[in-house]
């Protein structure tokens, strides 16, 4: 789709331009074919008159104001430039050839007219225009398909290139990782080699320590055997001491039992002695009261009292039995005496 073309600005027959190095103009009518419009006649001398201001003159206030005001009144043309075409009329071509030869634009070479130039008649029929338009649309579609095909090919090539670059990057990264892993493995092997050597030294030291310990254990075993023998001897002595202690304890318990029995007998005998003493005291009282009749028994009673005192003072069990026997004899003698006295 074509747009409008700037033809002139303000009072200028063409388009003025200004820059830091000066001012100049250009003629858009000479570029109608680039915008898709045909050139039917050559431009006038006024339209192609050059407009050039060099240096600081272009930056004067008057020139700048004139150019700025011209750009406020831009003249544009579009549909009135005729139907779409990239051709040019024969009159324009003749003018263009003469212009080129006049200014020497192509270095003096002879101008060769192209046989493929499109002659633009004065009037173009609608049917012909539609036919040309159809051909152009067909060519456009063909070119569009080719462009899409080329774009697809370019995209495919780009994808393949990116994939290959990706593979190359991955391979490079893999190589870097492999190199890093190999370096780490080399360092690890070196460390393990150092550890192995250190362990070998430690094993040698450990073997020496084990040998020393075995010798010490052998010595300790001999000492332990001697100590075991001493311990067995001591245990035998302890057993013999324990057996002797048990025997002594049994004898002591037996002696205690016998002592308790003797003490019980002694208590019983002393009880009997106390009872006999009471009887004697009663007899003495009777004798004292019956002095005329008991003079014969006074001596016997005195002997009985002495016997009882001796019995109380005696602690030996064998002597107690003897004293009791004497006391019984005195009691029998006293009984006989008292019975005789009573008969008298």
What integer pLDDT is reported at residue 301 of this predicted model?
64
Please state the domain extents for the chain: 5-120, 266-343
Burial class from Cβ neighbours inside 10 Å (0-12, 13-18, 19+) for residue 84 reads: middle
**What's the residue count for the chain?**
344
Are 287 and 297 in contact by the 8 Å Cβ rule? The answer is yes
Q: Which residues 6+ apart lie within 8 Å of 129 measured at CB?
A: 83
What integer pLDDT is reported at residue 115 of this predicted model?
44
Q: Which residues 6+ apart lie within 8 Å of 259 measured at CB?
A: none
Residue 20 DSSP symbol: T
Q: What is the pLDDT along the chain (344 residues), one digit of tens a residue?
A: 456 778 788 888 888 888 777 788 877 777 666 666 666 667 777 777 777 777 677 677 777 888 888 888 888 876 555 555 555 666 767 777 776 776 666 554 454 454 444 454 444 556 776 777 788 888 888 999 999 999 899 999 989 999 889 889 888 888 888 888 888 888 888 888 888 888 888 878 877 887 887 777 777 777 667 777 777 877 787 677 677 667 777 776 776 677 677 777 777 777 777 777 777 677 666 655 655 555 556 666 666 666 666 666 665 656 666 666 666 676 666 666 666 655 55
What integer pLDDT is reported at residue 302 of this predicted model?
66
Of 275, 266, 276, 270, residue with least CA distance to 328: 276
Q: Return the bridge partners of 16, or none.
A: 25
Measure the CA–CA gap between 127 and 133, rounded to whole angstroms.
Answer: 10
Tell me how many degrees the CA angle 42-45-51 measures, rounded to the nearest 5: 120
Q: Which residues 6+ apart lie within 8 Å of 2 measured at CB?
A: 35, 36, 37, 78, 84
Beta strands 74-77 and 52-54 are unpaired
Output the CA torsion sign for 230, 232, 238, 243.
Answer: negative
Of 47, 40, 33, residue with least CA distance to 5: 33
What integer pLDDT is reported at residue 92 of this predicted model?
67
What integer pLDDT is reported at residue 1 of this predicted model?
46
Helix (H, G, I), strand (E, B) or coil at 32: coil
Tokens of 59: 């930056």
């Amino acid at each position: 789709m074509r747009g409008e073309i700037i033809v002139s600005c303000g009072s200028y027959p063409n388009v003025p331009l200004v820059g830091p190095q000066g001012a100049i103009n250009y003629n858009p009518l000479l570029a109608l074919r680039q915008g898709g419009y045909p050139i039917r006649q050559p431009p006038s001398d006024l339209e192609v008159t050059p407009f050039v201001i060099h240096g600081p003159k272009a930056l004067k206030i008057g020139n700048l104001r004139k150019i700025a005001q011209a750009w406020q009144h831009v003249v544009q043309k579009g549909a009135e430039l005729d139907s779409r075409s990239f051709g040019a009329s024969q009159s324009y071509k003749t003018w263009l050839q003469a212009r080129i030869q006049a200014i020497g634009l192509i270095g003096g070479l002879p101008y060769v007219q192209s046989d493929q130039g499109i002659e633009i008649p004065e009037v173009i029929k609608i049917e012909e225009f539609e036919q040309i338009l159809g051909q152009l649309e067909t060519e456009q579609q063909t070119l569009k398909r080719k462009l899409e095909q080329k774009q697809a090919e370019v995209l495919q090539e780009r994808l393949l290139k990116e994939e290959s670059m990706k593979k190359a990057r991955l391979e490079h990264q893999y190589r870097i990782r492999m190199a890093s892993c190999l370096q780490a493995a080399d360092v690890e092997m070196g460390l393990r080699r150092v550890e192995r050597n250190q362990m070998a030294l430690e094993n040698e030291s450990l073997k020496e320590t084990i040998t020393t310990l075995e010798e010490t254990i052998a010595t300790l075993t001999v000492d332990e055997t001697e100590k075991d023998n001493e311990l067995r001897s001591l245990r035998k002595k302890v057993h013999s001491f324990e057996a002797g202690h048990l025997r002594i304890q049994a004898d002591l318990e037996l002696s205690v039992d016998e002592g308790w029995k003797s003490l019980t007998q002694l208590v019983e005998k002393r009880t009997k002695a106390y009872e006999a003493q009471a009887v004697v005291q009663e007899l003495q009282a009777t004798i004292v009261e019956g002095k005329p009749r008991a003079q014969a028994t006074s001596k016997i009673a005195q002997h009985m009292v002495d016997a009882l005192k001796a019995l109380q003072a005696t602690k030996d069990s064998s002597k107690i039995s003897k004293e009791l026997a004497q006391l019984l004899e005195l009691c029998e003698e006293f009984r006989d005496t008292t019975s005789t006295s009573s008969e008298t």
